[in-house]
A and B are shown apart, each in its own frame.
Chain A
Amino acid sequence: MSRREKNLWIFGGILIVIYALFPIAWIVSLSLKAPSDLSNQQFLPTQVSWENYELILTGGASDLFLPALRNSFGIVLIATAIACFLAMFAAYAIARLDFPGKKLILSTALAVAIFPVISIVTPLFNLWRQIGLYDTWPGLIIPYLSLTLPISIWTLSAFFREIPWEMEQAAQVDGATTWQAFRKVIVPLAAPGVFTTAIIAFFIAWNDFVYGISLTSTNAARPVPAALGLFSGASQFESPTGGISAAAVVVTIPVIILVLLFQRRIVAGLTNGAVKG
């Protein structure tokens, strides 16, 4: 690659990064502006102010935001854990066992994943109200499972398929039951796959807005994306831009931490050395 070509690539790369990160930088900048500064018509705040963060964490908006944050974490983590656990078994069965209806399960999973959320949310709203799941944690965990399970099954079964079957057979010859072979050999080997799946599932559930706003009504179960929509300004003539920006920054942080934490585990390389390459 010539020097000129290299420079072009670097230039192009920087351009794309700026394009992608600019909105985030803008949100961060907005969240640091005082209310009077919001429409100063410049990118940077004239003076950095933590007023918005105080508003959502300790101030007037905190009784809306903090419970929502707690709900979001609780509901999403539980949904992710259940999805990964169930998907692990389902994917293992799909990858390894020959049983009738295998294709049906996979295509059903795909069908569920492509079904528009908005089209089932109204009947779900009525049903949940009838059976008492409306505005509860399980009332959100269940629909989140329907979002996360299909993609989890698909990604995990791809991972399982890549693990050489000999691994498991070797374990069985060494004296393992099917369950032991699964737990001691297959699961550790599929760990990168499980982490990847967990992160994808977490994002999907964390980002959901439609279920969150439709199936909740109080702080009992309302997640953050829904709560953001209900923010109000200090007076009715003031828009809550600053507060929303601050909250947006706060909810982005766990996602970033998650990715940084598991970045290495996501990079699959664990099966190296299992078989001669």
Chain B
Amino acid sequence: MAAIEMKNIIKTYDDGFPAVNDVSLDIADGEFMILVGPSGCGKSTLLRMIVGLEDITSGDMIIGGKRVNDKAPRERNLSMVFQNYALYPHLTVYENIAFPLRLAKMDDQEVERRVQEASDVLELHEHLDRKPANLSGGQRQRVAMGRAIVRQAEAFLFDEPLSNLDAKLRGQMRTEISRLQRRLGITTVYVTHDQTEAMTLGDRVAVLRKGLLQQVASPRELYEQPVNLFVAGFIGSPPMNFLPATVNGSTLETPFGEVTLDDEKARAVAGKDLVLMGVRPEYFEDASLVEDSKRNLGSTFTARVDVTEWLGDSQYAYIPFDAPKEVEDQLKELSRELDSDQLRTQAIVSIDSTSRIREGRDAEFWIDTRKVHCFDPASGDNLTRDAEAGAKLTREAGEDREADLAANAERDGHPTSAQGAGTAPAGGSTRV
């Protein structure tokens, strides 16, 4: 187990394309770090540089206090789960899991003990004699994880490990991975483009865009205090709505009427003509269902609903709006970058599932203006980000995790039993 430090990591391909551009990232010992971003953002490249399958153009990669830039993958003692599992088809499940141990010339008894331990954790006992070809997707996934946890690696690396599974299995394996990581308390780097995985698994999440690191923070901070338009649009599903708004003192004129800002936010947007107001779908509500006590904390507006989607526990309404040309272009560009080609400017609004709002009619909505953010349309920066509140959220997440690890340690006696004795619980050395 070890901390991973990246200092100004750059990866340039032969054609001069910088896949990873000046990324500095500290991953604490025992931390679960997620690398997330749309396709082509360099997250997989970064992971492959950690493990040593990709050369580092410049910068320092430090694992457990040692610079590993020039070390071969086998000298770095990391274990990795590949997107397509990369199981050895000619070997049985047992031998697949034992493969790293056999390479390390471990004696048979020790191999037997370790493999049994790993298969205990992953419930693979009845499959040990089978070949990978005869296993289901989820079982293959577990074998790949077995191969990763069987040796005392410094860290686990996951490269989109769940993207080949169907939705139901994905949910199961997600909790499985989370449980396993907490139990073993081992440093983990996990690459995904699925933001549900990012939000649920990570202690901290690093959002990448075109090889540049945008923000590293706990999922809650990313959600509530995003640093810019990109992070705000990427995190959250359905995504945050961006409404063009003209600044007029402390009020914003939006396509959905006027919105009054509190003093702090008004100060932040002072001097700008046009901003993008970011409103998450759940900050909207059907005005007729809002209690009177809350009503004057936000503002109400009337709009024509294009489509509604009723999902049982929730309901979404789509409200088209017109945006000035330059804003529309920018929003289109953003949605293209986020892999979600949005065809028209529309707001997605989450309303109570009991709401009687129907499509094609005018309806009255309420916006909770306390939680809106304002973004600079030119640079994309979040003008109203409360850095202190964000840091607090990340700090709290770190404290929760330490408590978690401590509780696990107490319950299991040996939190890292599958990793053998001699490794201390990870909580103590955690940095937030």
Contacts and interface: CB of A to CB of B under 8 A. Distances in A.
Given A166-B84, A172-B72, A273 B99 contact: no
A151 B61 CA distance: 44
Interface in B49-96: 51-53, 72-74, 77-80, 82-90
Given A274-B87, A275-B85, A173 B78 contact: yes
A167 B51 CA distance: 15
Given A167-B88, A172-B73, 20 more contacts: A166-B82, A169-B73, A170-B80, A172-B74, A173-B52, A173-B79, A174-B100, A175-B74, A175-B103, A176-B74, A188-B88, A188-B90, A273-B89, A273-B131, A273-B134, A274-B86, A274-B88, A275-B85, A276-B137, A276-B164
A177 B105 CA distance: 13
B72 A273 contact: no
Contacts of B83: 166
A272 interface: yes
Nearest to B75: A175
A270 B90 contact: yes
Nearest to B103: A175
A275 B88 CA distance: 9
The listed residue with most B CB atoms (<10 A of its CB), out of A177, A270, A275, is: A275
Interface residues of B, number: 33
Residue from the set B74, B87, B164 with the largest chain A CB neighbour count within 10 Å: B74
B421 interface: no
Interface string B17-31: 000000000000000
Contacts of B131: 273
Given A174-B103, A175-B104, A271 B80 contact: no
Given A171-B99, A174-B103, A271 B73 contact: no
B135 interface: yes
A189 interface: yes
B74 A177 contact: yes
Given A180-B103, A273-B140, A169 B86 contact: yes
Contacts of B78: 173
Contact of A272 (B80, B84, B89, B164): B89
Contacts of B289: none
B177 interface: no
Contacts of A185: 88
Give the 10 A-B residue pairs with the shortest CB-CB distance, closest first: A273-B133, A170-B86, A166-B86, A275-B84, A273-B132, A174-B100, A274-B89, A188-B90, A175-B103, A272-B133
A171 B51 CA distance: 12
A164 interface: yes
Interface of B is mostly: loop
Contacts of A184: 99, 103
Contacts of B164: 276
B133 A173 contact: no
B147 interface: yes
B147 A164 contact: no
Interface string A175-197: 11100100011001101000000
Nearest to B80: A173
Interface string A146-175: 000000000000000000101101111111
A170 B80 CA distance: 7
B100 A175 contact: yes
B51 to A, nearest CB: 6
A59 B133 CA distance: 55
Given A166-B84, A166-B86, A274-B86, A176 B133 contact: no
B389 to A, nearest CB: 40
A201 to B, nearest CB: 23
25 contacts: A164-B84, A166-B83, A166-B84, A167-B86, A170-B80, A172-B53, A172-B74, A173-B52, A173-B73, A173-B78, A176-B74, A184-B103, A185-B88, A271-B89, A272-B133, A273-B89, A273-B140, A274-B84, A274-B87, A274-B88, A274-B89, A274-B132, A275-B84, A275-B85, A276-B164
Contacts of B90: 188-189, 191, 270
A272 B104 CA distance: 27
B53 A276 contact: no
A142 B89 CA distance: 36
B86 A164 contact: yes
Contacts of A188: 88, 90
